[in-house]
Amino acid sequence: MNSSGIIVSLRFLALALGALLSVGATQARAEDVDAVEVDSIKEKYWTRGDQSEIGVVQNRLYTKSGKAEIGIFGNFLISDPFLNTNSVGLALGWHFNETFGASLYGWKSFVSNSSALDTFEEFSGATANTNLSSGFVGAEGTASLMYGKLSVLGSSIVHYDMHLALGLGVAMTESGSFLAPTLGIGQRFYVSKSASIRFDYRMIYYRETIIEKVVPTKLGEERGSRGNFTNAVSLGVDFMVDF
């Protein structure tokens, strides 16, 4: 190959390299623009609340810190297969910050025979040694470990937070009152800045005294004690009060 051919080839290579560099730079600028647009969209999506509050979810639209809470709820209690137990209760709480809070709560129980007990009494002519619940009062600390947003059918956004609860209470029954530790998990869905729908599950344990209801000669006597695991599923409405 002569010198003129070499020069032409070098010029061609230089032009090709320049074209590739130009395309690469254009793509890099486009990616930068896309990244900036995505970051901007994310920032606008997550920061619609109070601009003075900065967190992992940068600005919560619904906040709890420094607010009192008043709630009303209904319970479905699962404990004795021979009894159907439902309750209505009230709760009063305080949120120290967005993560930690404490509350006092209590409920009144309404008890009826289950179909299992009705069947047992019908075919045996006797009853069972049950211990009817009359209510519960307790205190618990809560830790809200997760706050987020859910898309509902792509048409609306629901804000929620999930919490764990640990507490201590008193289970009141027809045979007496018994100390009961509690462990729970729950979730609230915000309806507005002052109201939310709250779902809770609590596991309650206590040792209860059993009163004789079957043997005629020993009716009303104590038969001993047993451990009681109660599963309480509640649904209610909470209202935030800002002082």
pLDDT in tens, 89-129: 999 999 999 999 999 999 999 999 999 999 998 888 889 99
Is residue 232 assigned to a domain?
yes
> pLDDT value at position 134?
96
Question: pLDDT tier at 85 (50, 70, 90 boundaries)?
Answer: very high
Convert the pLDDT of each residue in 123-170 to its tens digit: 888 899 999 999 999 999 999 999 888 877 777 888 889 999 999 999
> pLDDT value at position 230?
97
Strand-pair partners of 64:
none
> pLDDT value at position 15?
55
- Detail the DSSP E strand segments found in the chain: 67-78, 83-95, 100-113, 133-152, 156-173, 176-190, 195-211, 222-242
| Predicted structure pTM score | 0.73
In a shared domain, residues 80 and 42:
no
pLDDT, mean of residues 163-192: 96
Is residue 52 assigned to a domain?
no
Is residue 134 assigned to a domain?
yes
Q: How many domains does the chain divide into?
A: 2
Whether the predicted pLDDT of 239 surpasses 90: yes
In a shared domain, residues 12 and 105:
no
> pLDDT value at position 119?
92
Considering only CA atoms, give the Rg of the chain: 32
Structure tokens at 195: 């109201």
Is residue 117 assigned to a domain?
yes
Convert the pLDDT of each residue in 44-79 to its tens digit: 554 554 444 444 445 678 889 999 999 999 999 999
> pLDDT value at position 150?
82
Neighbours of 111 (CB within 10 A): 19
Judge contact between 112 and 76, C-beta under 8 A. Answer: no
Domain that includes residue 6, residue range: 1-47
Is residue 190 assigned to a domain?
yes
In a shared domain, residues 118 and 193:
yes
Judge contact between 142 and 103, C-beta under 8 A. Answer: yes
CATH number of the domain encompassing residue 78: 2.40.160.20
Is residue 218 assigned to a domain?
yes
In a shared domain, residues 74 and 21:
no
> pLDDT value at position 44?
53
Is residue 56 assigned to a domain?
no
> pLDDT value at position 51?
46
Q: How much of the chain, in percent, has pLDDT values that exceed 70? A: 76
In a shared domain, residues 125 and 10:
no
Is residue 141 assigned to a domain?
yes
Is 180 or 51 the better-scoring residue by pLDDT?
Answer: 180
In a shared domain, residues 208 and 157:
yes
In a shared domain, residues 188 and 81:
yes
Is 243 or 134 the better-scoring residue by pLDDT?
Answer: 134
Helices of type H across 47-152: 115-124
In a shared domain, residues 17 and 136:
no
> pLDDT value at position 33?
44
Convert the pLDDT of each residue in 2-44 to its tens digit: 444 445 455 555 555 455 445 444 444 444 444 445 455 555 5
Convert the pLDDT of each residue in 198-238 to its tens digit: 999 999 999 999 999 988 888 888 889 999 999 999 999 99
In a shared domain, residues 10 and 87:
no
In a shared domain, residues 124 and 95:
yes
In a shared domain, residues 76 and 19:
no
